[in-house]
Each structure stands twice: as structure tokens, then as C-alpha cells.
A and B are shown apart, each in its own frame.
Chain A
């Protein structure tokens, strides 16, 4: 009976004069429907993970994406072996293969046939892998003994793997002899840095300043030459003078400080590597280490040293020995940024022009739509390529070029949306209240077409990433050392058969993201569209 009364109370409240008939705002409703769509939820999670990885890249424990280690070219992806072991494996495979080719190592006839078949089909990887296994077995069984020369090669490599260090100077400290205070050199004023440097190399300040002035000049001229081609040396000098004049005191000081500081750092690095080399050979120190070593007099440095070949490359390395994992993550940064920023820019342009055309109609509409028609008629890619050629190839220009060309569809869509909305009674109501045009467009029309715009934009992001990838693949996109998924794929295509991981991982990463984006877009459309299949 109690339950009964409760229920009837509930009814009364729903029927009370002012009571609400249905709950939930439109957005909440859409969110509820989106949550029911499993694919969309998974996609949201994937997209969030990608975005987090890309934005947090600088603080993730990954190797720098642009650090070139030439020893580590084209290492296979591996979870169990570090770079040193992979190098050793590679060398041994090489030695065993040589031995077999020279007839010093015997294999069965069937194996022989198989190996030759691989060589004929230029499957070098398979041959090496196989010979490594066979060779190791034979050495262990004693059926093959390494020659002295081979042993020496292996020993040398082992020693190298032991002693090669990767040293980074994190901070340089200067202990003031008078006050005894330790100061970070990078934070000191430019004059003091120059003084420290002069003291370090034992030269006069005048000669030091003479040196850095010359170097800065060379550096600036190089930049100017890269920007303007085909001028005479005199003209370059003229431009340099102009540049120098236009530079503020602070900028100039900054250049000097950078120049001098980098010399101090490289000096510190040299000292540190000498110091640590012995420690690495006689195993008197544990690596990786992180300590402060004194450099010279009052200078000391925080140094981080690792054994170069202890590195682990989970996704392998590229042709310059750069870690593919970090390149993919940093590449994602560029690709995702292009996707989002490009979409946002084009959506903004599209909304403004589309809503103006749609709402004002008449001549404005006619004019804007003819521009759109004409731009539609021009080949999209060609325009981007021309824009990139004119404005120079950098990421900003790429954003710009893509955005300029891709507002067309969105402006058409917004226009259609606005045209269907503008005859609604609530727009008439706003007009009857004397609302100015901008208010009607941006407070009523645009918010009401937002759901369609959001869905469209979500579906647009993948196409931006694709375009960027395509341009990068063609070599028009981002330039090394920067990476994007497209440029990674483009770089990998050359050695596709020998180093398939270089192609596979960036391509897979990109594909997963694009899939997720598309599913998310579909999910959003279903969620926002009241007529969709999810509706009851």
C-alpha cells in the first residue's frame, strides 16, 4: 500500500500544472545516444589516447625523435633485445653468411637449395636470419669454429658496445669564486657567459667576440640565402646588414648567448665523454648514470650518460637510426594538429560565408556561391601544390593552403542548413523583436546547425589527415627532421621489402586513427539526428 501511494504521488507531480513533460537537454540526449553506440565509444577512447600521446610527447619516456644514431640504422623492432644485441646478431649473421658463401661453413643440400632460392628472390633478410640460427648452432656444437679475424671482429664489436656512450649535458653550473654561489650558466646574462667562455678557453674577450660575430654572420647569411635564392653575394651582405639593423639588442644578445653557450656545452660534453670512457671500459661505473662532473676550474656540468647500445627500439629504427616509436608519436602530433586546425579554420570560414549567403540570400548569396562554384572547378591538389610552391614549404603554410581550399563544402552545407532554418518561426520571432542580423545568425541559426557542423567536421578530419599525408608522401608536406604519418610512410616506401616495419607501423597507426574518427563521426550523426536508427 505504501508503494502504491508513492507511485501515485509521482504521477501527481508529473501532472502538476507546471511540471515537466520530458527531461534532458538536447545535448544530453545526444550524449546518451552516443554512449549506447559501442563503436563510437571505443573510437572516442582511441582518439583521446592518440591526442594524449601526441600532446604529452615531450614528457613521455621516449628517445628524441630527431636524434640520429648512425650505428643504429634500420634496426628491427624488438621487445626482447636491445640495440647492442641486435647489432651483434646482425654482425654474426653477416659473418656466418660470409662463411657459408666462402664454403667454410657446411649446410645440408636441402638448406643450400632453399638459401639460394631466397637469394634469387632477393630475400636477404631471410638468408641472414636463417644463417644466424644455423651458425649459432654450429658454433655451439663445435662443427664450425670462428677464424681469428672473425673473433677479432666480434671482440671489437663487443668492446664498442660496452664503451660507446650517449652523453647529454643537461645543465652547466658556474661557481662564483667570490660568493661561492652555484649558478646555472644558461640563466646568466650574456656578458658573463662570454666571460666564462673566455676564461675557459684562455682567450681574450675581444678575440672571443670576434669569433662569435663571424659565426653569427655566417649563420644569418645562410638563413637569408635559404629564403631568397639567386642573388649576388653583395646583395646578401646588404640584406644581412639590414637584418642586423632591424634586430633589437635583445635578439642580438640572444643569438650571441646561444652561440657561446653551445660551445661551452660541447666542450663539457667532450670532457665528460673522456672521463666516462674509462669508467665504461673497466666497468667502474653503473650505466645509465646521472651525475655532476667538474669540467674546468669553477665550471661543472650535470651529465646524463647511457650506453648507446642499451637502447630498446620497440618499433625499430629508420634509415638514420631514429626511433620509429617516437617518430610516430611526434608524427601524430603534426598529423592530428593539421587535421584539427585545418578543420577548425575551414569550418570557421565556411560558417561565416555559408551563413551570410544562406541568411542574406539574393546578391550576396549569388556572389559567394559563384566563388564557391569556381573554386570547386579548380583542381584541389593543384591549388595546394601551387600555394605550397609560392609560400614556401612549412607546416604553417600547409595549414593555410589546406584551409583555404576546404571551406567550400562546409559553406555549402551551412548555407543549406541556414536556408532551411531561416523560415522557422523562431527566427521570425527574433526578427519581430528587432534582432539585428548578426544576432540572428550567430545566436540562433549557427547554434541550431551546430550538430550538423560537428558531425561534418568530425568526418572531415580524416580527409585532412589523408590530404596532408598525400602531400607529405609527394614530398610537399612536412620536411625532415619533422615527421608526420604521411612523411613516415613516404620515407618507408623505398625500403619496403627490406624494412617492412618502417611502413607497417605508421600506416597502421594512421589507419586506426582514421577508422576511429570515421566511426566517431557516424556515431555523432546518429546521436544528433533525431530521425536516426537509434531513435525509438
Chain B
């Protein structure tokens, strides 16, 4: 994959925080705490590139893309797309800008409405924006119909099946339907939330190849989430490693594997199995102890402190800032101070 990109930031996330209140109480409900799903992250996504976000479950990677897609109202921070701050922009303007941000979901079975035909599913974004009057008036029912057929062919589905229901398709085909739906409005950026992790190995590579082709052809920008490092490394231009709602390391994807800096990244990489018994036997694993701690409490030190094999006294009480190591590599760790 060519990794030359124009350096024009398309999406900018600035100090995004997404806290979900925990409420308690009978009749009068009070907030007694918050799940700090995303706790202050900043990054930019340049046009035409793929930003991979990797992390374990509960690290806030899914919440991040959902906040970008405005499915949640962020607690604080801003999401700037094409110069418009989606969080604070008036609703009309936000909706208009949001046409260019579409999502692909993880579960090909749950992400398609089982009561709708493939045609209605793919046409839905178009219909929604048409009834809102935000599409070109030339877009009529016929135009939508033709667009649906075109999209189905583009993602490798036979357009003769447009009147079928999703459960008549296999997992891989359903994911193609989901991709066609995301492409319907000609978006600039696609947020893909673990689009291949629920698929079988042989299907996974089909979908990855399709996404790769689409990016080349349509000049799409991806924010791609996965927990599988190999997949992330394959598809991404740059990778952000998240842990407990914070970005630990952000680097060009080739650098990340060759030269991981953060202890967490190192552990992740060493834990990822490699399908080669010879290499596998030689590898040194860094096995982390314990589990991911609860994201409910406020932290004043490094978020990775509890599980870090290299923790220092300083890490306990000071949150490490993002430090730029070189042009394409940032890390949040006191080891590199």
C-alpha cells in the first residue's frame, strides 16, 4: 500500500472527553460517578489516510468513533470536520457536514435491520437526507434506485438480490451490504468499527481487500478500529494505541511494529500470535498481569500504572503528556522524558 498522503487534516479531534454518568437514587436521581470511556484524546486524520485505533475491549475505541459520528454528545472537547466543529455547530450545519461521515459496524448480523430489504437498507441514508431536503433536488426515487444497484455492484453483490432480506446472506455478504450503505452518500470519511472481527478468516481478507480498493478508487479516509494488531498494521497509515480512554502511542504503522515505545504497545505486540510456529517458539512474550481496571474512577497518574512492568514513582502521580519522538511518532510515557 502506498503510504504517501497529502497532509491536509480532514478530521481533527481535540481533547475529546466522553463520560457516561452513573446515576442512582429513587425518584430523584443523582449522578454518583461517571464511566470515563474516553478521557481526553486528541488526534488528526489527514485526507486519504487510514488511522487505525487499537486497544483492548473497554479502552474506549468504539466510543471514540461514536462520539465523532455524534451518536453521543461529547462531554467536552471538539470534533472538527472540514473546519466545522460538529459538537457546537447548529444542528442543520452539523447534519449537513455529517453526510460526509459514515460508519461501518462490527456485527454483520446485528447492524442490518432484519425487517428491511437490501435495497431499503442501502437507500436509507439517501432517503433520510432526501426527506430532510438536504440532497440535490435532482435525486429522485429512480436516481436512488440506480445508485443502490451501482453500490451493490461496487461492493461485489449481485444487484438481482436487492429485494432480499439480510438473513438470506452470509456474514461476509452482509458486511458488504453494510459497506454499500456507508458509501451511499458519497462520504469523505468512513468510521469502521471492527468491521472484520466477526468474520471468518477467509472472508476477513476479502473485506479488507474491498476496503483497500474502495479507498484507492474513491479517495476515502478511514478511521479503522480493531483489536487485531495484524489487521490494523495491514490497513492503517498511522496507528493510535488506546488504553482506558487515553491514547498511549500514536505512530506510523510500520514504525509501531519495528519500534514500539510504550510498554503497553510492546505488551500488545508480543501477545499477538503470529501464524508461524518457528517464529512463535522463539518469541519472548511480555505477559501483562491482571486485567484492565475499571474506567469509573478518576486517575491522577499514568493510566497504565497498575499493569506496567516499568512503572516508576513518578508515574503514580503525574499523567504523562504526549511527547513527540520524531515526525511521525508520539508517545505518552515518562520513560521517554
Q: Is there an interface contact between B128 and A439, defined as CB atoms closer than 8 Å?
A: yes
Minimal beta-carbon separation of B46 from chain A (angstroms): 22
Interface of B is mostly: loop
| Interface residues on chain B, number (Cβ under 8 Å) | 36
Closest to A18 in B: B158
Q: Is there an interface contact between B102 and A447, defined as CB atoms closer than 8 Å?
A: no
Q: Does A435 contact B (CB under 8 A)?
A: yes
Q: Does B273 contact A (CB under 8 A)?
A: no
The distance in angstroms between the C-alpha atoms of A435 and B99, with both chains bound, is 11
Q: Is there an interface contact between B161 and A432, defined as CB atoms closer than 8 Å?
A: no
Q: Is there an interface contact between B102 and A425, defined as CB atoms closer than 8 Å?
A: no
Q: Does A180 contact B (CB under 8 A)?
A: no
Binds B, one of A22-30, A394-402, A459-467, A499-507: A22-30
Known interface pairs A433-B128, A439-B128; A20-B169 also in contact (CB < 8 Å): yes
Binds A, one of B11-19, B74-82, B109-117, B302-310: B109-117
- Note all chain B residues with C-beta closer than 8 A to A425: 105-107, 110-111
Q: Does A35 contact B (CB under 8 A)?
A: no
Q: Does B95 contact A (CB under 8 A)?
A: yes
Minimal beta-carbon separation of B108 from chain A (angstroms): 9
Which listed residue (A18, A432, A436, A444) contacts B71, Cβ 8 A? A432
Cβ proximity bits B151-182 to A, threshold 8 Å, 1 near / 0 not: 00000111001001101111001000010010
Q: Does A226 contact B (CB under 8 A)?
A: no
- Note all chain B residues with C-beta closer than 8 A to A430: 113, 124
Q: Does A448 contact B (CB under 8 A)?
A: yes
Closest to A451 in B: B115
Closest to A428 in B: B71
Q: Is there an interface contact between B164 and A435, defined as CB atoms closer than 8 Å?
A: no
- Note all chain A residues with C-beta closer than 8 A to B115: 26, 444, 447-448, 450
Closest to B165 in A: A25
Which listed residue (A18, A431, A439, A447) contacts B173, Cβ 8 A? A18
Known interface pairs A430-B124, A444-B113; A26-B165 also in contact (CB < 8 Å): yes
- Note all chain B residues with C-beta closer than 8 A to A20: 161, 164, 168-169
Minimal beta-carbon separation of A375 from chain B (angstroms): 19
Cβ proximity bits B63-86 to A, threshold 8 Å, 1 near / 0 not: 000100101000000000000000
Q: Does A382 contact B (CB under 8 A)?
A: no
Cβ proximity bits A132-160 to B, threshold 8 Å, 1 near / 0 not: 00000000000000000000000000000
Residues of A at under 8 Å CB distance from B?
A: 17-18, 20-26, 424-426, 428-436, 439, 444, 447-448, 450
Q: List 24 A-B contacts (CB under 8 A).
A: A17-B156, A18-B156, A18-B157, A20-B164, A22-B167, A22-B168, A26-B165, A26-B167, A425-B106, A426-B110, A426-B112, A426-B114, A428-B103, A429-B105, A429-B111, A431-B71, A432-B66, A432-B71, A432-B102, A433-B124, A433-B185, A434-B99, A435-B124, A436-B132
